[in-house]
Amino acid sequence: MADLIAQLNETTAFIRKQYPHEPVAGIVLGSGLGDFASQIEIEKELDYRDIPHFPTSTVEGHKGKLIFGKLSGKRVVAMAGRFHFYEGYSVEAITFPIRLMKFLGIKVLLLSNAAGGVNPAHKVGDLMIINDHISFGTLNPLIGKNIEQLGPRFPDMSEPYSKSLIAKAKAIANKQQIPVHEGVYFVVTGPTFETKAEYKMIHLLGADAVGMSTVQENIVAVHMGLPVFAISVITDLGIGHQETITHEEVLRAAKNAEPKLSILFKELIAEI
């Protein structure tokens, strides 16, 4: 485990050599949301496969690039493509890029994902600001010996998503006339979408949306004291309205909603 710190330092040094600036925000682009990268004034791009200790992405719809550049006049680092538990990666591998971004100097982390709506008020293409999560459905990435240098053994999870970033995002959404929901994200491992009974249970347990990412990234960020903002694009509806769900539909719905998410992220970064 001490190795992890050595790996993080090594990768940080590798990146600093090629990109000597400190990004203020880290951004993770979820399934179908990669087009957002075109908003960034790119200064440097690195393929995941060229970055030491980085896992490589395998899922369709994920480009697998770390992008450095300017957004709203601020320096950012964006992951076009993330790593999922269902791909077979260890939790350490999935969360390595998040820890790396903290080592690179980010002050806030913005996460995005495609998710299934289980709240009857949701429609395909809606945005939902995540204000809390339920993480029983996956492995906690902090299991194992705690690395004190990263954070405490028993992190407080009373504010996993920054209230002040949520308030800022809601004010932006209001001003830009972008309708947003706010709610609880339930994580599952995937890769199966949920059965009808599972969607129903997830709703009954108090969640509004369900997806296969984000929570492990959130947990390691909170562990390191990094404020997180996260948003879901509702790409399908788990209860009531929809008979079957495909990955293609998820990607299409996310792509269609991406311009709304772009405005929110851009404006939010302008205010950091």
Residue carrying structure tokens 């600036």: 21
Q: Where are the beta strands (DSSP E) in the chain?
A: 25-29, 41-47, 65-71, 74-80, 108-117, 127-134, 180-187, 209-211, 228-237
Strand partners, 80: 29, 65
Of 23, 61, 64, 116, the residue at the interface with ligand HPA (CB under 6 A) is 116
Candidate segments 67-75, 204-212, 223-231, 258-266, binder of ligand HPA by CB under 6 A: 204-212
Binding of ligand HPA by 85 (CB under 6 A): no
State yes or no: residue 138 binds ligand HPA (CB under 6 A). Answer: no
Residue nearest to ligand HPA (CB): 116
Q: Compute the 3-state secondary structure of the chain and give helix, strand, coil in percent, each to the nearest 5.
A: 35, 25, 40
* 55/46 Cα distance (integer angstroms): 13
Q: Is 87 in the site for ligand HPA (CB under 6 A)?
A: no
To ligand HPA, the closest distance from the beta carbon of 30 in angstroms equals 8
Which residues share a beta bridge with 130? 183
Q: Is 34 in the site for ligand HPA (CB under 6 A)?
A: no
Q: Based on CB atoms, which residue is closest to ligand HPA, 77 or 115? A: 115
The residues that touch ligand HPA, with contacts defined as CB under 6 A, are: 114-116, 188, 190, 193-194, 210-212, 235-236, 238, 245, 250
